[in-house]
């Protein structure tokens, strides 16, 4: 009887302690960038939870204090990759198209 009570208590404690960790893991894996435009298949860089409470948002390893700065960086990185592809002639679009996409990315956020 004591063994069953102890095991039940340990099991419930494990469930309670594991819940916040799984919530954090789900939050870290979530992309906060909602813009879906992707000329040439080049999507805006994902924005994730950095795990740092002082600089919560991460874009390709760079961390930011607020979401708006992270969104701006994400859109800028998409523009740069898009413009590089347009200049290299690897897509059927121009740098002007990339610029219009960058404006749409900023407006969407």
94 and 61, same structural domain? yes
Cβ(70)–Cβ(64) under 8 Å? Answer: yes
Reported residue count of the chain is 109
65 and 36, same structural domain? yes
* Residues of the domain holding 92: 32-108
Token pair belonging to 4: 């069953």
Q: Please tell me the distance from the alpha carbon of residue 5 to that of residue 79, in angstroms, as a whole number.
A: 60
96 and 44, same structural domain? yes
Token pair belonging to 7: 């095991």
What are the φ and ψ backbone dihedral angles of 94, each rounded to 5 degrees?
A: -110, 170
What are 19-78's pLDDT values in tens digits?
444 344 444 469 999 999 999 999 999 999 999 999 999 999 999 999 999 999 999 999
Q: Pairing state of beta strands 62-64 and 57-59?
A: antiparallel
Question: pTM for the full model?
Answer: 0.73
pLDDT the model gives residue 91: 86
55 and 15, same structural domain? no
């Amino acid at each position: 009887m004591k063994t069953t009570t102890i095991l039940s208590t340990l099991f419930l404690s494990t469930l309670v302690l594991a819940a916040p960790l799984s919530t954090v893991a789900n939050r870290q894996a979530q992309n906060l960038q909602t813009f879906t435009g992707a000329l040439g298949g080049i999507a805006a860089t994902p924005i994730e939870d950095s795990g740092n409470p002082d600089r919560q948002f991460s874009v390709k390893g760079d961390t930011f204090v607020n979401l708006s700065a992270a969104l701006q960086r994400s859109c800028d990185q998409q523009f740069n990759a898009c413009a590089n592809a347009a200049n290299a002639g690897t897509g059927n679009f121009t740098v002007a198209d990339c610029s219009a996409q960058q404006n749409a990315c900023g407006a969407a956020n």
